[in-house]
Amino acid sequence: MFLRYLPITLLLSGIVSADSHCKTTPYDTTWPSDSDWTALNQSVGGALIKTRPVASSCYDGNPFSSTLTCDTVDDGWSSSAFHAGLPESIDYPFWANNSCVPPSDYAYRNDGCKLGGLPEFILNATTAEQVATAVRWASARNIRIIAKGTGHDLNGRSSGAYSLSIWIHQLRSIKLDSQWLRPSTNKTENVAILGSGNNWGRAMEATAAIGRILVSGQVKTVGLGGFIGGGGHGPLSSHYGLAADQVLQATVVTTAGDILVANEAQNQDLLWAIRGGGPGLYGIVTEFVLHTHPIPSNVVQTTLSLSMTGNDTGSSAAASWDAMALLSSALPDLMDAGVAGFGNAATLNVSPKSSSSVIQGIGATFTFFGYNTTASDIVSLLNPIRARMLQSGNGTLSVVIAEPIVFPTYLSFVDDLNDPATPVAQISLISSRLLGRSELTEISLGKLRAHLQDITKSQVEGGTAALVYGLQGGLGPRQVEASMRGALTPAWRSAYIHLISSGTYINTTDTAPQDALATAAAWVEEHKEAVWRKWAPGTGAYINEANPFNGNFQQDFYGGNYDRLLEIKDKYDPTASLYVRSGVGSHKWDYNLTTGKLCRK
């Protein structure tokens, strides 16, 4: 298949020392020449792409010769699907140093069209062999390597300056096997064998066609690789665990260019790391073998909404926090009864008539759903919670349970969750925590209320802060068999709620991203992370939706697994070619968005 490829001795000519202080950049004399890159392109069958920012067409002269019109770029810029279909583009350009952002996007400081934080070259991979050739070549030359599937990453881990990007978008094979033999056992599993470039929408449609379903993300355009590497939660997690808990086997290309199969019979340490030990760190995953589950016969969904009412807005605001604490404390029991879902809450400023001061209350809308159930069953579980919330408000609150919707198929339920699609290309620095019974039901409601008020503090005086509740823990993660558990932070095994807090202001228009992020990160560390450590000191956070500048990321993201993961990282990536912020081994490095340089500390 690869007879036309250049001899490996030619490919490895010009190798530089792997222990250089900084990763090589185009400003270094050791950076490969144009002829070197041409040789690499020939060796991978013409699959190498020189990065061409798509919004180049929106600038005079189209400096990078983008093939899309500026109108097309403007129309698609807020769409995750648009960015997923492009080799270089990511959902949140702030993480790429606002590189070549369309001038029409006034939410970002415009510094013209340049590569900036985007990769120098991109491999449009269609085979694991191509990936092996490219990463071996780049590692030998001390060039940073990144991986991009869909570019959906909230913390910009699928982009990086002066890098070679491995774009796995074309690795979209799908094979279903109901009798897959589990290595080192005599057991068979019902699995989906998926190229890592698939997104969850494609994968779910394939398995649903034969009455099976995957533990997937809620958003269909999200890809498999980074999602699984960080753990991966979704609508079925509270029943079956996280996506990382479903991995039976993975094919991984190491930075040395080795194509390894990791399962229970071989490369077990690599399999353990792939199962939730962080994405983009140990190699490029080209294929997953994932356990599938019987598809639900129906999904029943309803909402519960909390709002303030009445004339005494001061009493209503105070009561709203009591009701929010009551609801939060009730979630573990609700989940043990089979209910899943998510919730959105936001602070609201009110002005009591008896005072000139402004106080904050909170409002919320929770979406609850159950599988293989009835509308009356799910409402009967929610009614006692609603009654307690109303009682706490003493007539000053409105708590409404909507008429349930019964979806006849799981896919119709997921389609509804994705309509309309969530816009992207905006940014906020979030902070999050995994919370269990100890943090929700085994403390007084007064303490719980105080924690909720503390974590919704806004950086802007009088500003709004929001909470996002994910009901993805509980029995599912806790009951995952020991042999399927990997490096996923142990905090998931006792957690019920994944709680995200916003309220951080990032100056995206007047300040360089490096400086704006540093300012926001310092505030989050003092006013968000400190609250979590007081409220839930022994838990942790979900790495894919957390503060990437967390000062205690080794413990909060990886639990007690960090040291072992570091050994595995050094074993399979000895050249430290793969770097992501807050990833394993990142404590040894400093990445400067302004200069683009990645250097050892």
pLDDT digits (tens, 9 = 90+) for 30-47: 999 999 999 999 999 999
pLDDT at 425: 67
Ranges in the chain, pLDDT < 50: 1-19
Sheet holding 163-167, edge to edge: 48-50, 121-124, 163-167, 144-148
Helix (H, G, I), strand (E, B) or coil at 512: coil
What type of residue is 5? Y
| pTM score, whole prediction | 0.95
pLDDT of residue 310: 67
What gap in Å lies between CA 404 and CA 241, rounded to an integer? Answer: 26
- Can you tell me the distance from the alpha carbon of 50 to that of 284, in angstroms, rounded to the nearest whole number? 20
Whether 70 contacts 113, CB under 8 Å: no
Q: For residue 399, list its beta bridge partners.
A: 306
**Cα–chain center distance at 237:** 15
The third-level CATH classification (topology) of the domain covering 174-294 is 3.30.465
- Are residues 229 and 285 in contact, defined by beta-carbon separation less than 8 angstroms? yes
The 10 Å Cβ neighbour count of residue 438 is 12
Task: Look up residue 505 and give its amino acid.
Answer: Y
Closest CA to 566 of 550, 577, 556, 554: 554
Distance, in Å, from the CA atom of 156 to the CA atom of 96, rounded to the nearest integer, reads 7
Instruction: Please name the residues in contact with 548: beta carbons below 8 A apart, sequence gap of 6 or more.
Output: 155, 581, 582
Q: Give the SS3 label for residue 498.
A: strand
Distances in whole angstroms, Cα of residue 140 to Cα of each of 144, 145, 257, 285: 10, 11, 10, 20
Reading the block at residue 413, the tokens are: 């339920």
C-alpha 419/C-alpha 57 separation (Å) is 30
- Cis peptide bond N-terminal to 420, omega within 30: yes
Best CA proximity match to 134, nearest among 104, 92, 163, 98 = 163
Which CATH number fits the domain 299-549, given the four candidates 3.30.465.10, 3.40.50.1970, 3.40.462.20, 3.30.2130.30?
3.40.462.20
